[in-house]
Structures are given as structure tokens and as C-alpha cells.
Amino acid sequence: MGTLAEEIFSYKLGRPVHAGETVVVDVDHVMSHDTTTPLAIKAFAKLTGQKTGKVFDSKRSHIVFDHIIPAATIAAATLHREVRNFAKEQDISILQEGICHQVMPEKGFVVPGSVIVGADSHSCTYGAFGAFGTGMGSTDIGVAYATGRSWFRVPETINVNITGTLPAGVYAKDVSLEIVRHLGVDGANYRAIEYTGEVIENFSMSERMTFSNMAIEMGGKAGLIAADETTRAWLQGRTDQEYPLLRAVNPHYERVIEIDVTNLKPLVACPPDVNIVHPAEEVTNVKIDEVFLGTCTNGRLDDLEIAAGILAGRTISPDIRMVVIPASREIYLEAMRLGYLEIFSRAGASVGTPGCGPCIGRHFGVLAPGERAMTTMNRNFTGRMGDPTAEIYLGSPATVAATALTGYITDPRAILLEESRA
């Protein structure tokens, strides 16, 4: 009996556990990526006595190359080689087909009721599947690779209940930003967020992932959504593992936040913190140099579809550069088949290989001093995309696409409205 977080840990341990308890759990999967694996290897080697040690299970250990892929510098290529050697020794296959948080679910590694630790803060994305996914540092992940275990303080839970009907031009990302505005950048520190309500129930897996992904922007340890038939349908054909559809049973939530989306407007998070949120229509005088559509927050097929719908038959402002990066190869291929990539390319965008791209400012679209980017990213921290004086704005794929057309932050409803009149 308890919150979804308590239910998952109780299921894993075979006994009832409650918020506040510290437990050691056998994890289902462990993940690290090209940037965080090198330090994890160091911790792993220390613990297992240098090179002789083996990971707890090579089929449940995953290394994803996504942060700087293909390598953009000699330093990155050298780190990649180091990690490749480790993976070979350990019989781990390196996944190179997209962003870790997209590829892990696509491969069927994320099933409801499981516990997954990743050396990346957005590992909370797996919460969209009713899995307890959480981000940790490399040493924790090195320990998990060696032992198959990790320790957790079972978190208290904040329930975010979302009701109403989403207006046209307003998307899952806008609702996510609205939640950050409510809770603040540390409002969920050390806590799980459990998303409930009709809006969540009607959302696709992709939209749910946008929500869970952004739990960490409020400090959340996990961003959980109870698995249901939508989850089951998505996982069909990706895994034959049995899993329970757990949900909260008489939960005691630390806090409940009610959000009615019926009157919500397209929102933009302004630099340098994710909770500085304003309606897009109030920041339309901001001139933008680069727009970026992609990331583990909004690089999925429906995101590309929304943007392609706005950009079809149009060209982007000559004053702007646009980067589009599908979150995974699966999405890339599907977007190619559906003609979205052609729409982007004809509109004037650079379409990149699946991965994180400019999200961490290392390649493929870094910003010059003083430049501004309007992106579908989850973070707008100073310096993240390039020069420390460059600024990052966050919004939905529609807001990003509309901005690409005008060169200024643009409320997508302005474009969508124009369309419906035409």
C-alpha cells in the first residue's frame, strides 16, 4: 500500500517498504553513456581489482554513445576508444543509435515495475513506463556494474494531477514547463513526482516521456506514471518479459498539485533557469540566432511531426540556423519515410545524426558569444550550448518551429491560426 514509488520498491523487495527507509535493491538494468562511462570504469576497476573483474550481467549493462557521436574532437575519440575497449572486455554491446533515454525503452529494457539506474540525470525518463529510473553519478554506476545493486532512500512523493483539455497549439512540453513554474527548480528535490489525471492518461508514451524527463529539472529523483494499456501497447513486440501494472494504492502524498490545462498558453522558459517561465506571446521581441529541435525531451516522432506540420512548404528565416536531431535511429528512419526530414531540409534546417547534438554544447551547432537559441531542450543553463554569454530558451516543438520561420520567439498559435484561415 502506498505511492507508486513505494509500490515499486515493495514489489522489488517482496515486502512492504515506505518513504524514508534506506534499501539496497537488485537493479534490473544499468546504463552509462560516452561521457560518464570513463569515470564509472575507474570506480568499477577499483572495486573489482583492476581489469579482472566482470560486470554483474553483461546483458543488463548498457553503454550508449550519444553525447558526442560521432566524436568531434581527438579527446572525445580517445575516450570513446577507452570505453570501446572496456565494453569488448566485458562483452557489453555499445548502443550507437540515439539518445540513451530513447534507446533504452526502444530496446525493451524499460518495463513497468523495474528499477533502472543510469549515469545521466535524465534517467528519470523511464518513469514514463512505471519504472523507477533515476540518475546517479559514475561511481554509483560503477558500483552497480560490479554488484548489480544500488542503495536508495525510498522517496516521499509529490502528486501532480493534471486535468482539463489541452488547447490547440499547447503541448506536453508547455504543461511540463508549467509544472516547473509551479514547483521551482528544487521543489521536488529528493522526492518522486507522480503524474496522474486525465491529461496524462490520454497522453501517448512520447508525451509521457517529456513529463518524466523533466522531473529532474525540479530536483526530482523520479517522475513516475502508472503503466496502463498505452504502455503495454507501446512495449508490444519490444520485450517478452512479464511485468506488473503497478499503481498507487491508498497513497500518502507529501503534497498534491492540481493543474488544469484548459487555459494554458504556449510557454517559454527563459535563461538561466527552467522555472523562469513566460507565455510565448509575452517574449516575442527576443531575437533568436539558432533553433534546435531534438533531445530526450522532444526529439521523438510526434515532436518532429508537429514541427514538420508548421514548416511544410515554408523556409526558415535567413537570419537563423536550424538544427534538427531525431532522438533515435528508429525515429530518424520513420521521419525519413514520412517525409519530415525532407521538409526540414527544404526549409533550410541541418538534420543531424541521432544523439544529443548541441544539447551539451560540444558539437553540431554551438553558440557564439551573446547568441540566443530557442530549443526543445530541458535545460537552459548558462554556457550549456557554447559560449557562457550565449542564452538558451526552452519551448515546445511548435514554438521552436514557429520561431524558425520568423527569427524571433513566436507563439505557434500565430502560425497555426494563419493556417486555419488560409
Partner 1 sequence: MGRIWKLGDNINTDLIIPGRYNVTTDHAQLAKYCLYEAYPEFSQQVKPGDIVLGGHNFGCGSSREHAPTSILANKVKVVIARSFARIFYRNAVNIGLPVLVCEEAVLNSEDGQELDVNLETGEIRNLTTGQTFQAEPLDPFVARIVAAGGIINYIEMEGTLR
Which positions touch ligand SF4 (CB under 6 A)?
Answer: 67, 99-101, 120, 122, 295-296, 356, 359-360, 378
Q: Which of residues 313-332 bind partner 1 (CB under 8 A)?
A: none
165 neighbors 197 (Cβ within 8 angstroms): no
186 CB neighbour count, 10 Å cutoff: 12
Binding pattern for the stretch 346-375 against partner 1, x by CB under 8 A and - elsewhere? --------------xxx-------------
Smaller CB separation from partner 1, 45 or 333: 45
370 neighbors 364 (Cβ within 8 angstroms): no
167 interacts with, out of ligand SF4, partner 1, none, CB within 5 to 8 A per kind? none
43 interacts with, out of partner 1, ligand SF4, none, CB within 5 to 8 A per kind? partner 1
309 interacts with, out of partner 1, ligand SF4, none, CB within 5 to 8 A per kind? none
Smaller CB separation from ligand SF4, 157 or 328: 328
Could you tell me where the DSSP H helices lie in 205-300? 205-213, 229-235, 295-298
* Grid cell locating 332: 530518424
Q: What is the DSSP string of 225-248?
A: ----HHHHHHHTTT----------
- What is the pairing mode between strands 157-163 and 255-260? parallel
360 neighbors 67 (Cβ within 8 angstroms): yes
281 binds partner 1 (CB under 8 A): no
Q: CA neighbours within 13 Å on the CB side: how many for 68?
A: 20
- Identify the DSSP state of 249: B
Among 173, 208, 321, 379, binds partner 1 (CB under 8 A): 379
Q: Which of residues 224-253 bind partner 1 (CB under 8 A)?
A: none
Smaller CB separation from partner 1, 1 or 77: 77
382 interacts with, out of partner 1, ligand SF4, none, CB within 5 to 8 A per kind? partner 1
* Grid cell locating 408: 524571433
22 binds partner 1 (CB under 8 A): yes
Terminal-to-terminal C-alpha distance of the chain:
55
Binding pattern for the stretch 49-88 against partner 1, x by CB under 8 A and - elsewhere? -------------------x----x-xx--x---------
